[in-house]
């Protein structure tokens, strides 16, 4: 590890960034250095601009990935390399207004019918029935399942915030069945080695395979289960503030996105076509 890389990681730790964020930012800076074949110390703002243009124009980088790359390099140049005004003039793209992919209740039933592995089924159900993010699920320990209060303790979720998620009787029953079969010693969902966390990419790969077996054509990910959790609760009449709390959103505006996804009220609204149709002639003559 180079001295610059070590100092960069130390600076991110001092800012109390999560291990995952540090890993992602470090990878982004390393990719930038590889692109030019030189240390970032020898590169400047114009080089960063050329690199970002390459990522957007040649590789079709999304808005969120662009912002990630820009943030990683800003921390490097402004903090670690001590160039406070560096990269300040680089543009930040407008936020894209995209609706999340959501499964119907029938698709969720078909999906879980296609998951035969008990560990995978329990992990996926925590995402769907409790609404946890994948990183939060993989950080769970057995003691985080509070069966007496019927809550799941989420330690240091997004934004370094602890919170409690709901634990329904059905999910508790599934987790008990899983625990009796696997007896995980540390992490609730360990990886190949009992003392190591599950690999971050594996659950998503398993989920996509299950989706194909279930005949689901939508592009699904682990976050799709969380989106479906929120949307199905909203369609069932759950208050938006309650859903905000369960999801761990800091702003109600973030949760309000699901009001655009839920189609229940739209389906309940009368058909305008039916309203303008002429009355039936049934019964005449």
Phi, psi of 238 (to 5 degrees): -70, 135
Q: Catalytic site residue 226?
A: yes
Reply yes or no on whether 223 is catalytic.
yes
Q: Choose, from 75, 120, 121, 226, the residue flagged as catalytic.
A: 226
For the chain, state the CA radius of gyration: 24
Catalytic residue chosen out of the listed positions 8, 25, 178, 258 = 258
Q: How many CB atoms within 10 Å of residue 250?
A: 12
Catalytic residue among 141, 158, 208, 213: 158
Closest by CA to 200, choosing from 268, 256, 272, 123, is 123
Is the separation of the CB atoms in 210 and 201 below 8 Å?
no
- From the candidates 153, 166, 223, 245, give the one annotated as an active-site residue: 223
The bridge status of strand 151-157 relative to strand 161-166 is antiparallel
Strand partners, 157: 161
Q: Say how far apart CA 182 and CA 267 lie, in whole Å.
A: 44
Verify whether residue 258 is a known catalytic residue: yes
- 54 an active-site residue? no
The Cα–Cα gap between 26 and 42 comes to 17
Phi, psi of 58 (to 5 degrees): -95, -30
Catalytic residue among 75, 119, 133, 163: 133
Question: Which residues are identified as catalytic?
Answer: 133, 158, 223, 226, 249, 258
């Amino acid at each position: 590890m180079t001295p610059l890389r070590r100092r960069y990681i130390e600076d991110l730790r001092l800012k109390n960034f999560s291990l995952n964020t540090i890993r992602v930012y470090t990878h982004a800076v390393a990719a930038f250095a590889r692109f030019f074949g030189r240390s970032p110390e020898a590169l400047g703002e114009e080089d960063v601009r050329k690199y970002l243009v390459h990522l957007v124009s040649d590789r079709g980088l999304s808005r969120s990935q662009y912002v990630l790359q820009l943030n990683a390099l800003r921390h490097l140049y402004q903090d670690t390399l001590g160039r406070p005004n560096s990269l300040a003039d680089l543009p930040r793209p407008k936020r894209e207004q995209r609706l999340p992919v959501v499964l119907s209740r029938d698709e969720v039933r078909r999906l879980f019918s296609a998951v035969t592995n008990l560990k995978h089924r329990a992990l996926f159900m925590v995402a769907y029935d409790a609404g946890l993010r994948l990183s939060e699920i993989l950080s769970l320990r057995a003691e985080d399942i509070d069966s007496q209060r019927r809550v799941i303790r989420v330690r240091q979720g997004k934004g370094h915030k602890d919170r409690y998620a709901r634990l329904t009787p059905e999910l508790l029953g599934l987790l008990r069945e899983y625990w009796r079969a696997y007896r995980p010693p540390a992490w609730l969902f360990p990886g190949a080695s009992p003392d190591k966390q599950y690999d971050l990419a594996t659950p998503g790969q398993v989920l996509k395979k299950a989706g194909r077996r279930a005949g689901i054509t939508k592009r699904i990910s682990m976050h799709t289960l969380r989106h479906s959790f929120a949307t199905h609760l909203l369609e069932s009449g759950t208050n938006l503030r309650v859903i905000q709390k369960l999801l761990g959103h800091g702003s109600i505006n973030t949760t309000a996105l699901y009001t655009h996804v839920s189609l229940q009220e739209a389906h309940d609204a009368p058909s305008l076509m039916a309203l303008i149709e002429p009355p039936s002639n049934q019964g005449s003559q």
